[in-house]
């Protein structure tokens, strides 16, 4: 099924701190021409270098806790939440200017980005946008993680999350990804981490900008810092992240994606696997 490409109708912006760097940053979202895709611009660097929002720009050794893109020495970190919102809302073309190295983390979910982009309005363009349509089953495995995809007329994501933590032993969720359901069921789901991970993350120089209002902190017997927005908020956030990572394929998707225990590294590898399998 084809549709016309879309961009936002006007520029909008937001300001916050990067969750890992702690550096204040303003992200400005601007309309972009047809066939542009997503382009990041580091306005704080000499020459204002641009970085394509594509799988080819992924920095693979920085994928453990976030998605990072680079061109030359210019990088943008933790861009998965803003891309998740844009992709789920059906925005194909957009320029994202950032005056710092890491996207603002805001409340740890994609909802502030989704609301901001919705407020900008979405404009149809003249050129058609043809989805990547899955026509046969495919499976990708990496360690204990697996992502399978089967034909479907819609973009559907099912995620199965397992953990040794008592509060998060097994969670699963499945959604057709369309704007209304995304805004209501997926975008509000916040990043989560386990209480026992916090000190190690700090020693690694991460979560410098994190706070107890922007993530769900899970202890062995209870959520440490706040109430959950959904009983299955962690697995919904995994779907949110998955959408942001496959947005780097650069086209709408039609297929049912089923993911087990996957994260940013596996999503990036799966995206490259899919491109190769489909000859993209």
pLDDT at 53: 98
pLDDT at 62: 60
With a cut of 90, say whether residue 19 has pLDDT above it: no
pLDDT at 195: 61
Arithmetic mean of pLDDT, 20-34: 93
Tell me: the pLDDT tens digits for 58-104? 997 665 678 999 999 999 999 999 999 999 999 999 999 999 999 99
Arithmetic mean of pLDDT, 41-53: 98
**Does this model's pTM top 0.85?**
yes
Annotated catalytic residue, options 77, 81, 237, 264: 264
With a cut of 70, say whether residue 209 has pLDDT above it: no
Say which range, 35-49, 59-73, 213-227, 234-248, has the weakest mean pLDDT. 213-227
pLDDT at 225: 72
| Long-range contacts, stretch 208-212, CB < 8 angstroms, 24+ apart | 208/18, 208/19, 208/20, 208/21, 208/22, 209/17, 209/18, 209/19, 209/20, 209/21, 209/22, 209/23, 209/102, 209/105, 210/19, 210/20, 210/105
Token look-up 């699963």 returns 172
Query: Topology of 3-130 in CATH?
Result: Ribosomal Protein S5; domain 2 (3.30.230)
Arithmetic mean of pLDDT, 36-48: 98
With a cut of 90, say whether residue 178 has pLDDT above it: yes
pLDDT at 203: 61
With a cut of 60, say whether residue 33 has pLDDT above it: yes
With a cut of 60, say whether residue 1 has pLDDT above it: yes
Say which range, 28-37, 116-125, 188-197, 252-261, has the weakest mean pLDDT. 188-197
Arithmetic mean of pLDDT, 138-164: 95
264 tagged catalytic? yes
Residues of the chain with pLDDT > 70, as a percent, come to 87
Arithmetic mean of pLDDT, 225-240: 89
pLDDT at 262: 94
Say which range, 9-13, 73-77, 231-235, 269-273, has the weakest mean pLDDT. 231-235
Residue 53, phi-psi category: left (phi > 0), alpha (psi -120 to 50), beta (remainder): beta
Q: Where do the structural domains in the chain lie, given as residue ranges?
A: 3-130
């Amino acid at each position: 099924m084809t549709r016309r490409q879309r961009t936002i109708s006007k520029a909008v912006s937001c300001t916050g701190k990067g969750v890992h760097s702690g550096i204040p940053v303003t992200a400005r979202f601007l309309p972009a021409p047809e066939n542009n895709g997503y382009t990041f611009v580091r306005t704080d660097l000499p020459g204002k270098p641009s970085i394509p929002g594509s799988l080819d720009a992924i920095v693979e050794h920085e994928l453990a806790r976030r998605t990072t893109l680079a061109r030359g020495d210019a990088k943008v970190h933790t861009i998965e939440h803003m891309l998740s919102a844009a992709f789920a809302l059906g925005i194909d073309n957009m320029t994202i200017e950032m005056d710092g190295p890491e996207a603002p983390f805001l409340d740890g979910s994609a909802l502030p980005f989704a609301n901001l982009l919705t407020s900008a309005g979405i404009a149809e363009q003249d050129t058609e946008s043809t989805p990547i349509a899955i026509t046969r089953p495919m499976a990708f495995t990496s360690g204990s993680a697996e992502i399978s995809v089967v034909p479907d007329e819609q973009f559907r994501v099912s995620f199965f999350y397992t953990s040794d933590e008592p509060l998060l032993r097994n969670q699963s969720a499945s959604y057709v990804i369309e704007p209304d359901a995304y805004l209501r069921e997926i975008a509000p789901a916040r990043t989560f981490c386990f209480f026992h991970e916090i000190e190690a993350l700090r020693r690694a120089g991460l979560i410098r900008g994190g706070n107890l209002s922007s993530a769900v902190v899970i202890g062995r017997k209870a959520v440490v810092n706040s109430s959950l927005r959904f009983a299955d908020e962690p697995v919904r956030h995994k779907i949110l992240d998955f959408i942001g990572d496959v947005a780097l394929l650069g086209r709408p998707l039609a297929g049912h994606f089923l993911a087990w225990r996957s994260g940013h590294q596996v999503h990036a590898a799966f995206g490259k696997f899919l491109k190769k399998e489909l000859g993209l």
